[in-house]
Amino acid sequence: MLIPKQAVLAAVTLCAGIAFAIQVPTSDQISLSTGNDRSDVLSGFTGVGNEPRAYRPDTSSLDFVYHNHDDMTRYLRATTARYPNLTALYSIGKSVQGRELWVMVVSASPYEHMLGKPDVKYIGNIHGNEAVGRELLLHMIQYLITSYTTDPYIKWLLDNTRIHILPSLNPDGYAASKEGTCDGGQGRYNSRGFDLNRNFPDYFKQNNKRSQPETEAVKEWINKIQFVLSGSLHGGALVASYPYDNTPNAKICRSSSTCAVFNSYVSAPSLTPDDDVFKHLSLTYANNHAKMSRGVACKSASPSFENGITNGAAWYPLTGGMQDYNYIWHGCMEVTLEVSCCKFPPAYELRKYWDDNQLSMIKFLAEAHRGVQGFVMDPNGGPIERAQLKIKGRDVGFSTTKYGEFWRILMPGVYKLEVFADGFVPRDVDFMVVEQHPTLLNVTMQPSKPYLFVNHLKPYDHH
């Protein structure tokens, strides 16, 4: 039953604008089922890992088996036909061999962006032979749409977030992989032999590898949609790995197994300015996972990870990784989620992996509602697109959407937002972030040349 509770909203009034908190469900607003197969679904916003875990979706139309590309396509098309008010299916491009790179949006507003509400994403199967994440994402779609009318937390999440799910970024590699193969590289790469998670532009070192259609599709995708938070699902370990993956001075290992062996002396942490946030996001996933936070090594020769998280470069450095690209180029906080010791385990184990990861996957996405969000506007209330923003002391910036929106995940504290936009006087705005409730901060910019905004005059046309 749903237990209502008086919402307490923290309010902060600022000289540069108004900041106020937005209500999110508290632990007293989460539904508790009286059925035998569900217990506490999501207890509050921050969550811990020792709560009852036995909640299951309606999986009547999605078996715990591996779905090849045609099966996956049929499932996604059937799902969006059945749930047109909660889902939208689109393709961001095609693989080398012509397979569609399908994305399913799950949201109360699947076909259009919800003003002021963040877009988040999950990407699976970037390495074709790491197949568990692909199936987890299909089951995540199924769970979200079948729980919308019965679970207040899921309803809140879909009412306030657009969730984009790309189950397979490397369908060609998946087609070349073999069920039951825990190790090795067969199917890891795309059909041209490129590792897609070494194929993105890199902040630390020039990446000379020829860009592939799959990575080009992702780059265009995240340039069009301003994602706030992202998870990339991998296999072969059990850990949440956060940026940076690369470092200015470390030797680059060619494979994860080689790096694991030499981990003790070739790798050092490479920390972002948002290290506190990335650690928190990683712990959110690990602590809500059935096993990850224990930090148990998959094999005796493999490293163990304290609390089930690691800095990427401290594990092993790599050039051209997707999570560093998301963060540096687009201000999207992406974490790499290694969800299975075996890369392509037998299908009968998939239900276990779903049970282990289900809560983590939901709670991780909800973290997009932590920190600060708002609008940057001109004196007439018009949105300022592509304004450049930065949290003082954190040099990796982010920008506004065409509607003037911005988001930044931050831990509780006092911060200064620096805002720059062509034709406007730069602004600094102090604000506060509190636990659980995102701070809404609207910033009005003053034009550096006032006449530009008289009656919204357009520049003189020389034609």
> Which value, in Å, is the radius of gyration of the alpha carbons in the chain?
22
For residue 340, how many other CB atoms are within 10 A of its CB? 26
Tell me how long the chain is: 463
Structure tokens at 246: 């690369």
User: Closest Cα partner for 407 from 38, 143, 75, 161?
Assistant: 161
Backbone angles phi, psi at 302, to 5 degrees: -85, 155
Establish how many alpha carbons lie within 13 A of residue 164's alpha carbon, considering only the half-sphere containing its beta carbon.
Answer: 25
- Looking at 338, 349, 405, 418, which residue is catalytic? 338
- d(Cα 167, Cα 10) in Å, to the nearest integer? 38
DSSP sequence for 244-294: -S--SSPPPPSSHHHHHHTHHHH------TTHHHHHHHHHHHHHTSSSGGG
* Three-state secondary structure string covering 89-123: EEEEEECCCCCEEEEEEECCCCCCCCCCCCEEEEE
- d(Cα 376, Cα 412) in Å, to the nearest integer? 22
Packing angle of the helix pair 213-224, 322-330 (nearest 10 deg): 30
The verdict on whether 338 is a catalytic residue reads yes
Amino acid at 210: R
Active site residues: 338
